[in-house]
Amino acid sequence: MLRFGEHKLSFTDASIVVVAKAYYMNEIFTLDKDFRKVGLQDAGIAD
Query: What's residue 5's pLDDT?
Result: 63
Query: What's residue 9's pLDDT?
Result: 81
Query: What's residue 32's pLDDT?
Result: 83
Pair 26, 41: CB distance under 8 Å: yes
Pair 14, 32: CB distance under 8 Å: no
Q: pTM of the prediction?
A: 0.70
Query: What's residue 47's pLDDT?
Result: 60
Pair 1, 13: CB distance under 8 Å: no
pLDDT tens digit at each of 47 positions of the chain = 455 566 778 888 888 988 999 999 999 998 888 888 888 888 876 66
